[in-house]
A and B are shown apart, each in its own frame.
Chain A
Amino acid sequence: MEQMQTQELISALADGQLRGDAFARGVELAASDPAARDAWQTYHLIGDVLRSGELAVGSSAPTVFLQRLQRRLQEEQPGMPRAPAVEAAAAPVHEEAANDGSFRWKVVAGFASVAAVAAVVWSLVGGAPDKPVSPELAKAPAGTVLSPGERGVMIRSPQLDELLAAHRQLGGASALQMSSGLVRNATFEGSGR
């Protein structure tokens, strides 16, 4: 067997007649040596044509077909060593998202999300003070005195008193010439009545 030249080794390999080291050597040659691979293809073509003339032409070139299949098999088993060209073609391409440039928007959105979550948690946990749910009515400003009178509670505010003192000639019934109870309740004379 050792004396067999390369092509004869491939011929015997094509017939399945090699064993042991000779078989391993034949496979290695047919897979790596272009001339040996060419012989492998041609010998099988001759056999196919002798059995059926219609097999003389295939649908695609064997080398192209095999290269395509190799790429797919490499995808099946990522651990397999790849040819440089295949590796370059299969290298992952980092594609930027459309909003990658606007990083600040991501920060803003993040803070907004955190704030929203914090607000919800705060209200759920009970951090908000216990207050009556009823709506809060208008408050009298500071310094306001509520003085009870025969016509009800009168609002006495220092600012209002000063304003009415400065414009007392306009206030009261003499100025309005008509009954205006509500206004008179807040007139300067009100406190003396």
Chain B
Amino acid sequence: MLVERTVAGDHKAYELLVLKYQRRIERLIGRMVRDVDLVEDIAQETFIRAYRALSQFRGEAQFYTWLYRIAVNTAKKALVDLKRDPLVSETTLRGSGDDEDETSAVENELTSAETPETVLAAKEIAATVNSAMEALPDELRQAVTLREIDGLSYEEIAEVMNCPIGTVRSRIFRAREAISAKVKPMLENQSGKRW
């Protein structure tokens, strides 16, 4: 729906898509490029290219799958351009061969955006989210797990939990609010709110 609205000319809808996928796209690019500024530049270029090409998005694939391919191509092009620049050091670049699967990078390897501080902050946020999940009442935890981990729709969750759709929506919302209450203070303490 957001994609359709964007194609129809709704810029606000596209802004929401950007906010939704920015972190994942930057993470993906960060596996290919070391320079933190370059990661953001390529992410910007990715969303610009996606915006230009939105009218060509047929909806046959998921939007993120389509965006993912644009990001990989944009990063590869940027790397090719950088390799032609004699002033760019090797440490700026990361392996970018065509036959390399960007998603197969070692999980624990630091990406460009990661410093020891950001790694620590990410671990703390993840730990907080997980502990907040464990503290949720069963029906809230189950509802948000079915939605976020298993990707079920509200109708499917209602069927699984044997409750009305409105109840599913309310449970997921309450679960998110409970987790958010624990996480937000940490996010606000992050320098520059890089999250």
Contact = CB atoms under 8 A, between A and B. Distances in A.
A16 interface: yes
Contact of A58 (B26, B52, B179): B26
Nearest to A46: B179
Given A57-B118, A58-B26, A46 B129 contact: yes
Interface in A53-86: 53-66, 68-70, 72-73, 76, 80
A23 B18 CA distance: 17
Contacts of B27: 54-55, 58-59
Contact of B5 (A15, A27, A61, A66): A27
Contacts of A32: 12
Nearest to A42: B180
B177 to A, nearest CB: 7
A19 B4 CA distance: 12
A7 B177 contact: yes
Interface string A14-54: 11111100010001101110000101111111111111011
Contacts of B149: 50-51
Contacts of B147: 15
B83 interface: no
A8 interface: yes
Contacts of B193: 61-63
Interface in B65-116: 107, 112-114
Nearest to A77: B11
B16 interface: yes
Interface residues of A, number: 52
Contacts of A53: 122-123, 126
B187 interface: yes
Contacts of B195: 41, 45, 56-58, 61-62
A33 B144 CA distance: 25
Interface residues of B, number: 65
Contacts of B177: 7
Interface in B128-184: 129, 133, 144-145, 147-149, 153-154, 169-170, 172-173, 176-177, 179-180, 183-184
A28 B183 CA distance: 25
A153 interface: no
B148 A56 contact: no
A42 B24 contact: no
B32 interface: no
Contacts of B36: 59
B160 to A, nearest CB: 15
Contact of B129 (A28, A30, A49, A61): A49
A157 interface: no
Contact of B173 (A12, A42, A58, A61): A12
A46 to B, nearest CB: 5
Contacts of B144: 50
Q: In this complex, which of A47, A57, A60, A68 has the most chain B Cβ atoms within 10 angstroms of its Cβ?
A: A57
10 nearest CB pairs, A to B: A31-B12, A53-B126, A59-B113, A56-B122, A56-B125, A59-B26, A11-B173, A58-B23, A57-B122, A8-B173
Interface of A: 4, 7-8, 11-12, 14-19, 23, 27-28, 30-32, 37, 39-51, 53-66, 68-70, 72-73, 76, 80
15 contacts: A11-B172, A15-B172, A17-B154, A27-B12, A31-B16, A45-B187, A49-B125, A50-B144, A54-B122, A56-B125, A57-B194, A59-B113, A64-B192, A65-B22, A73-B14
